[in-house]
């Protein structure tokens, strides 16, 4: 709920949060487990979506990455964005799995690859999908851990 509260949503809406998909997994040789998944919440006039990568260590959970999106066009969804976990694999051979997600929206589809190395988040790459294969890298940018 704290990640939703960072976007001015009151804690009283916690009971309305919908878990769209949540996976518990290990990433590379790290002892901790991770929760990877999507949450959503609909309020009057807006939809709120959150994709999270959360590290679970002993009795504490730490959000390592959060991607928030607000949809205001609830009727047609022209400004919607849905992030769905696809798979995890070590794409670059560094011993840490990358998280692959599909990002869909209104007349839009792309993939994002979230990379974690040396216990910190570093970057992701968005790639367009052409037919059944990756087409080209659209943009690459750094992201910061929460």
Long-range contacts of residues 17-24, Cβ cutoff 8 Å, at least 24 apart: 17/41, 20/84, 21/84, 21/85, 23/85, 24/56
- In which band, very low, low, confident or very high, does the pLDDT at 145 lie, cut at 50, 70 and 90? very low
Residues in CB range of 133: below 8 A, 6 or more apart: none
| Contact status, residue 126 vs residue 81, Cβ threshold 8 Å | no
Model pTM score: 0.77
Residue 55 near residue 65, CB atoms below 8 Å: no
- Picking from 131, 1, 137, 133, the residue whose alpha carbon sits closest to that of residue 66 is 1
Domain map (residue ranges) of the chain: 2-142
Task: Decide the pairing of beta strands 98-105 and 81-89.
Answer: antiparallel
Reported as a single tens digit per residue, the pLDDT across 102-113 is: 888 888 888 888
pLDDT band, residue 143 (cuts 50/70/90): very low
Span 46-96, pLDDT tens digits: 999 999 888 888 888 888 888 899 999 999 999 999 999 998 888 777 777
pLDDT band at residue 100, thresholds of 50, 70 and 90? confident
Mean per-residue pLDDT for 42-48?
Answer: 91
More confidently predicted of 97 and 104? 104
Rounded average pLDDT over 106-131: 62
Tokens 């969804």: give the residue.
77
What is the average per-residue pLDDT within 34-46?
91
pLDDT of res. 74:
93
Average pLDDT of span 5-16: 81
Mean of the pLDDT values across residues 1-8? 77
């Amino acid at each position: 709920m704290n990640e939703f509260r960072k976007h001015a949503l009151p804690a009283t809406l916690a009971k309305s949060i919908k878990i769209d998909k949540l996976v518990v997994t290990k990433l590379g040789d790290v002892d901790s487990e991770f929760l990877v998944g999507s949450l959503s919440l609909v309020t009057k006039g807006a939809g709120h979506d959150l994709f999270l990568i959360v590290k679970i260590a002993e009795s504490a959970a730490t959000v390592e990455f959060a991607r928030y999106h607000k949809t205001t066009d609830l009727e047609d969804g022209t400004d919607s964005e849905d992030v769905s976990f696809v798979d995890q694999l070590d794409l670059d051979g560094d011993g840490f799995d990358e998280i692959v997600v599909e990002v869909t929206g209104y007349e839009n589809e792309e993939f994002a690859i979230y990379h974690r190395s040396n216990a910190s988040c570093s970057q992701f790459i968005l790639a367009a999908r052409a037919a059944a294969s990756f087409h080209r890298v659209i943009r690459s940018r750094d992201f910061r851990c929460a």
